[in-house]
Homo-oligomer: A and B are copies of this chain.
Amino acid sequence: MDEISTLDRPTSGGPGPIRRTALHDTLVNHLRDMIIEGNLEPGTRLHEGQLGEQLGVSRTPLREAIKYLASEGLVELVPSRGAIVKRFSGKDVQDMLTVLRNLEELAGKLACQLASEAEIAHVRALHDEMIRCYRAADRLQYYKLNQDIHTAIVRLAQNATLADIHQMLQTRLKRIRFIGHEGPEKWAAAVAEHEEMISALEARDQARLSDVLGRHLANAWERVRSAL
Interface residues of A, Cβ cutoff 8 Å to B = 19-22, 24-25, 60, 63-65, 67-73, 77, 79-80, 92, 95-96, 98-99, 102-103, 106, 110, 159-162, 164-165, 169
Q: How far is the CB of A160 from chain B (nearest CB, A)?
A: 6
Cβ-defined contact, B162 with A165, below 8 A: no
* Given A22-B79, A67-B67, A165-B165, 20 new contacts (CB under 8 A): A19-B79, A20-B80, A21-B79, A22-B80, A24-B67, A60-B60, A64-B64, A67-B71, A68-B70, A68-B71, A69-B71, A70-B71, A95-B159, A95-B161, A98-B106, A98-B159, A98-B162, A99-B106, A102-B106, A161-B169
CA distance A159 to B161 in the complex (A): 20
A21 to B79, CA, bound (A): 6
Q: How many identical subunits does the complex contain?
A: 2
Return 26 A-B CB contacts under 8 Å, by A number. Answer: A20-B79, A20-B80, A21-B79, A22-B77, A22-B79, A22-B80, A60-B60, A63-B64, A64-B64, A64-B67, A65-B67, A67-B71, A68-B68, A68-B70, A68-B71, A71-B72, A95-B159, A95-B160, A95-B161, A95-B162, A98-B110, A98-B159, A99-B103, A99-B161, A161-B169, A165-B165
Q: What separation, in Å, do the CA atoms of A10 and B191 have in the docked complex?
A: 52
**Bound Cα distance A64, B67 (Å):** 6
What are the 7 closest A-B residue pairs judged by CB atoms, nearest first? Answer: A71-B71, A95-B159, A95-B161, A20-B79, A64-B67, A67-B68, A68-B71
Query: Is B77 a contact partner of A25 (Cβ separation < 8 A)?
Result: yes
CB-defined contacts of A19 to chain B, threshold 8 Å: 79
Residues of B within 8 A of A65 (CB): 67
Nearest Cβ distance between residue A200 and chain B, in whole angstroms? 19
Which of B77, B99, B160 is within 8 Å of A92, CB to CB?
A: B160
